[in-house]
Chains A and B, each alone.
Chain A
Amino acid sequence: MTSEQPPTTSNPDPKVPVVRKYRRTIAALTVLLVVLLLSASGGIGWLIWEHNQREKAAQELAETPIPTVEQPVASTPDTPEVALPDNPIDFASIQQTSPDVYAWIYIPGTPINYPVVQHPNDDFFYIDHNPERNYAFEGSIFTEMANSLDFSDPITVIYGHNMHDETMFSTLHYFEDADFFAENDEMIIYTPGHILTYRIISAYQYDNRHILNSYDFSNPEVLADYQEYVRNPDSLLVNTRDVPLTSTDKIVQLSTCMTVQNWNRYLVNGVLIDDHLTN
């Protein structure tokens, strides 16, 4: 309609260019639109990047070979020393790119097959960094400085995220299933020169107390009480295997979160039963 009617009260003076007012409004709205679009695409972009990172991590996990040990050639009369097998984990080459890797954990029956790191002075670094020390949403499998690097502590706690795509330590939750727990009772930790085999003795839901800060394990009574709890925990979500413990036993506790109640933890616990030397 090419109506040439004069404007309504919104513009009493026809000589003032109304078009400028509308241009300003449109300009302002366009700026707003651009800002919104940028932040939305920023948000979406971040989500996509994060998704890709996790896919990459899952991919890497899938491609990591399961550690296997080749038994050394049997000793002959000419070589009386028993030859040691090679350590399936090539720590020297891993440490070129990931200097804080000091161990490797493999749990048969689960996809867990990861390097273990410990940062020399920042316990929280590997919550959101991968072993190559790059920012990574999924973090690493790591221990804190309170634990020694040779697993000689009575209680060692290894942490890992409960991711939603079965990477990192999320598959620890498999041990909630009684049948799975009954059929899978082993976890293996490799360190330079050692293959440490652990028998899984319990898996249970726990609270979020910092275990190493909560107890003085140098006190034999405290240690004995705690070991007894690990053997026989008081929890609504428990699987256990009857394995007696002594004061010299070394326990490794794998800790991850619960999915919704993230003030609780899920712990899978093993006791050292074998230390096999390697090269």
Chain B
Amino acid sequence: MTTSPTERNGWSGDGALTDMAASVPKAARKTSRLAGPASTAEQWPEFEAVAQPQLQGAAVRRLAGRRSNNGVGSSNSSSSANIGNNPSKRRWPRVVLIVAAALVVVALLLVAFAACSISRGESSFEGLMANAVIETGANAVSYDEGKTVYYNGHTYVLNEDMVSVLVIGIDRKESAAEDKPVQADAVIVVALDKKTGQATAISIPRDSMVEIGRYADGGYAGVETAQLCLSYGYGDGYETSCEYTTTAVSRTLYNMPINYYFTMDQAGIGPMNDAIGGVTLTPLQTIPKTQIVEGQETTLLGTDAYNYLRWRDKTVLTSSLDRQDRQIQYVKAFAKKTLGAAKSDPGLALSLYNQVSSYSITNMGMDEFSYLASVVMGGNITGLDVISLPGEMVQGEKYAEFYLDKTAVYETILDVYYTQVD
């Protein structure tokens, strides 16, 4: 088994460590730039990839400022330093000008170089979704690497404004109690259109039989077709596990880039739920040992929220699907309430983020989260569309196995990530 090569420009070699999706950026915790209420806060940070050239320009301006200060300062005092010699007095401003001009030229060259290396395909917020439209020679064949898809007599074009966040629900307490690796119990991709703020959640049943990476003795051991929830267990229970599950989900969704993951331990459900004052809904099922009765509208608080989302009757084959239904219902109600509350309290999203941070693992920094939250808020969206990938639940040898309806998944991808143009 070969070891993994290092990445290089635009072509990462295949191997053990790079078998996880290279699109998943590493954790980057940044400090919040949110100063206060929306009325006095500055514009939300924009995540464009071209920060570097601006920095260069700014650095140059500061330098030039220093230079000109010296130039201004010098004209007064140089006259006293000169022992009445005219040419040497004139020399200073000229030298200053030449050096300043040279610095500007150098800065321009550096900017050009930086722009070149950026355009070489560094993954940016925008670049991650983009597909290239390749310019080829006159006699060459043109191709656009999947930007356009023809299906059932229609043409679909990739929506390059999409950003995807994978939300994973885990339960460390349960896995410790049952002495087995932590599994990804809830797997929901939140696909967000950066331009419109429209968010669609794609819920993937935990028992979906998909190709997951197998890892043994710290190394890649191949792929196997198994329940999606098991992909998490092959990792360290933290970042590596999140990456493995993100890779498996991305591959299930026809290699759509999943930019971020946000994994939350179920222990955080209660605090998160209570932070918005509880969630009101009409339960789909009666949950034993709680006040939750099917059909009786109630406001979930604290451990009730936890139980509504976690409990399932393991003797029933479709219990994980029933639970998924409840999770989807809850997520929709939660989203609706949060979006409504966030209109009058823009800091709410960020305070929620901070509330659950001790229960969560993510590679999304506070800045990115704020940006995405602002996009959703700015789009005047009042609710979250949730799609559950359809398929068939089958009893396997020991465990339930869910077989996804491939056509439905394909069409879901076209629906969410592509725009029909004819």
Q: Which residues of A contact B (CB under 8 A)?
A: 1-8, 10-11, 14, 17-19, 22, 25-26, 29-30, 33, 36-37, 39-41, 43-44, 47, 123-124, 127-128, 144-146, 159, 161-162, 166, 171, 173-174, 176-177, 180, 205-211, 213-216, 234-237, 255-266
Contacts and interface: CB of A to CB of B under 8 A. Distances in A.
Contacts of A6: 80
A43 B106 CA distance: 11
A262 B102 contact: no
A208 B220 contact: no
Interface stretch (B38-46, B138-146, B170-178, B301-309): B138-146
A173 B146 CA distance: 11
A4 B141 CA distance: 75
Interface stretch (B124-132, B330-338, B339-347, B394-402): B124-132
A22 B78 contact: yes
Nearest to A30: B99
Interface stretch (B108-116, B287-295, B319-327): B108-116
Contacts of A10: 73, 76-77
Contact of A205 (B123, B136, B146, B406): B146
B16 interface: yes
Contacts of A37: 102, 106
Contacts of B103: 33, 36
B152 to A, nearest CB: 14
B79 A5 contact: yes
Contacts of B121: 259-260, 262
Interface string B1-22: 1100110101111111011011
Interface residues of B, number: 73
Contacts of A257: 10-12
A77 B78 CA distance: 105
A18 B223 contact: no
B384 interface: no
B146 A7 contact: no
B12 A208 contact: yes
Contacts of A265: 14
Given A161-B10, A174-B143, 8 more contacts: A2-B84, A19-B78, A124-B13, A210-B14, A257-B11, A259-B121, A260-B130, A261-B23
17 contacts: A2-B84, A14-B80, A17-B81, A18-B81, A43-B109, A171-B141, A176-B143, A177-B142, A213-B1, A214-B222, A234-B410, A259-B121, A261-B128, A261-B131, A261-B145, A261-B255, A263-B12
A205 B77 contact: no
Contacts of B107: 36
B357 interface: no
Nearest to A180: B141
Which of A180, A234, A236 counts the most chain B CB atoms within 10 A? A236
A207 B16 CA distance: 14
A263 B22 contact: yes
A216 B254 CA distance: 23
In this complex, the member of A7, A47, A216, A260 whose beta carbon has the largest number of chain B beta carbons within 10 angstroms is A260
B127 A22 contact: no
A262 B79 contact: no
Contact of A44 (B79, B102, B113): B113
B10 A162 contact: yes
Contacts of B102: 33, 37
B145 A176 contact: yes
Nearest to A215: B222
Contacts of B77: 7-8, 10-11, 18
A208 B141 contact: no
B312 interface: no
A211 B14 CA distance: 8
B54 interface: no
Interface string B73-112: 1101111111010100100100100010011001101100
Contacts of B74: 22
Contact of A127 (B5, B123, B134, B136): B5
B235 interface: no
Contacts of A41: 109
B11 A210 contact: no
B257 interface: yes
Contacts of A43: 109-110, 113
A44 B109 contact: yes
A228 to B, nearest CB: 13
Looking at A40, A43, A44, A209, the one whose CB has the most chain B CB atoms below 10 A away is: A209
B250 interface: yes
B106 A210 contact: no
Contacts of A177: 141-143
Contacts of B116: 47
A7 B59 CA distance: 31
A208 B223 contact: no
A26 B113 contact: no
B413 interface: yes
A265 B15 CA distance: 13
Contacts of B220: 210, 213
B70 interface: yes
A244 B145 CA distance: 27
Given A210-B14, A210-B19, A259 B80 contact: no
A91 B103 CA distance: 54
B209 to A, nearest CB: 13
A96 B15 CA distance: 31
B2 A146 contact: yes
A161 B8 CA distance: 10
Contacts of A2: 79, 84, 86, 89
Contact of A3 (B79, B134, B141, B251): B79
A234 B48 CA distance: 33
A216 B146 contact: no
A11 to B, nearest CB: 5
A236 B413 contact: yes
Contacts of B2: 123, 144-146, 210, 213
B177 to A, nearest CB: 34
